Amino acid sequence: MPLLSVRVERFPISGTFTIARGSKTEAVVVVAEVSQGDARGRGECVPYARYGETVEDAVTTLERLADAVAGGLDRIALQRALPAGAARNALDCAFWDLEAKQTGCRVAERLGLAAPRPLVTAFTLSLDSPEAMANAARAANRPLLKLKLGAEGDAERLAAIRAAAPEARLIVDANEGWTPETVAERMADCARAGVELIEQPLPAGADESLARLPRPVPVCADESVHDRAGLAALRDRYDAVNIKLDKTGGLTEALALADEARAHGFRIMVGCMLASSLAMAPALLLAQQAEVVDLDGPLLLARDRSPGIRYDGALAYPPEPALWG
């Protein structure tokens, strides 16, 4: 019978990672592992305080399902057993991995997808002073940079970064840090800097003004969209959606959300929390059809798990079977 085990793992961040809501120096992840015979499947999640999640609650939630897993709870039944969120993500991805290990068939093949290819990922610059972010942009030397903004001085940050990296493509993540009074001006600043996409400029639940404003740069919903339930209400406010497995509750719902988002005319971005390669691996399958890929979590860590995703500059390579799927 399948056995579920749950553990917490910690990965130090290289330096400090800062966004509009605060800073952190380590990534704390929850790993779910389902084993049956000689096969084991793993999934990783990052409980996020912004969504009312804690590491302790995620561990407790998953441990309470151990008997259900032993009794036959599978990936399909899991979608009803837990709501969308980090805990379900870890177990959903563990089930996908276990199925691949048991059948010897990669997850992409089970889904009827073409063999995954390496993808260019954004590289995130932590929120800092204009000078520090400009130096980081110059040092990164990446073709696609994601700028964490959402604080006083964002116009100066944009100008400094563009001057430091004139050839780089830029996307911006304000992490709900702008206001209805400033958002139009900040979007104009982004347009002048050649920014291609702006993530979540206003707080979720207070973003209705986006429907009435010109959007000189396409705007992407992040905190405002978790799964398919709230998608239709966003059509007049956003041009794209950022799909993260920790929000959708796993690869199963993420794939369904991507299909429905495209049907509504949204562009697709695939993003991540600050986590190890085990969390990036299933997201890389989803990202094969995305217009924007932001799966650089392991690049921001002081150490990753081994084996991990292979990064070659800006290219993120599909996971090897020993890692996931």
pLDDT at 46: 98
Q: Is 287 left (phi over 0), alpha (psi -120 to 50) or beta?
A: alpha
User: 190-230, pLDDT tens digit by residue?
Assistant: 999 999 999 999 999 899 999 999 999 999 999 999 999 88
Residues in the chain, pLDDT under 70: none
Does some domain include residue 124?
yes
pTM: 0.95
pLDDT at 20: 74
d(CA 239, CA 135): 31
| Residue 74 belongs to domain with CATH number | 3.30.390.10
Statement to judge: residues 73 and 213 lie in one domain: no
Last residue of a domain, one of 42, 72, 106: 106
Last residue of a domain, one of 59, 81, 106: 106
Going along the chain, which residue ranges are E strands? 3-19, 22-36, 39-45, 119-120, 123-125, 144-148, 169-173, 195-199, 219-221, 240-243, 267-270, 292-293, 311-312, 315-316
Statement to judge: residues 183 and 51 lie in one domain: no
| Residue 218 belongs to domain with CATH number | 3.20.20.120
d(CA 294, CA 19): 15
Does some domain include residue 112?
no
d(CA 316, CA 314): 7
Statement to judge: residues 48 and 176 lie in one domain: no
pLDDT at 15: 83
Tokens of 308: 């991990």
Structural contact between residues 82 and 91, judged by C-beta atoms closer than 8 angstroms: yes
Q: Which residue has the tokens 């006083």?
A: 152
d(CA 28, CA 160): 32
Statement to judge: residues 266 and 293 lie in one domain: yes
Nearby residues of 103 by Cβ (< 8 Å), 6 or more positions away: 110
Does some domain include residue 142?
yes
d(CA 11, CA 302): 7
pLDDT at 230: 82
Q: How many domains does the chain contain in total? A: 2
**Helix or strand holding residue 135 (H, E):** helix 130-140
Nearby residues of 80 by Cβ (< 8 Å), 6 or more positions away: none
Q: Which residues are catalytic?
A: 148, 244
Does some domain include residue 322?
no
The distance in angstroms from the start CA to the end CA of the chain is 21
pLDDT at 261: 97
The string over 12-34, giving b where at least 16 C-beta atoms fall within 10 Å of a residue's C-beta and e elsewhere, is ebeeebebbeeeeeebebbbbbb
d(CA 42, CA 91): 8
pLDDT at 22: 81
The string over 172-195, giving b where at least 16 C-beta atoms fall within 10 Å of a residue's C-beta and e elsewhere, is bbbbbbbebebbbebbebbeebeb
Tokens of 181: 């009074």
Average pLDDT over the chain, rounded to an integer: 96
pLDDT at 16: 80
Last residue of a domain, one of 106, 127, 149: 106
Statement to judge: residues 221 and 247 lie in one domain: yes
The boundaries of the domain holding residue 48 are 3-106
pLDDT at 23: 83
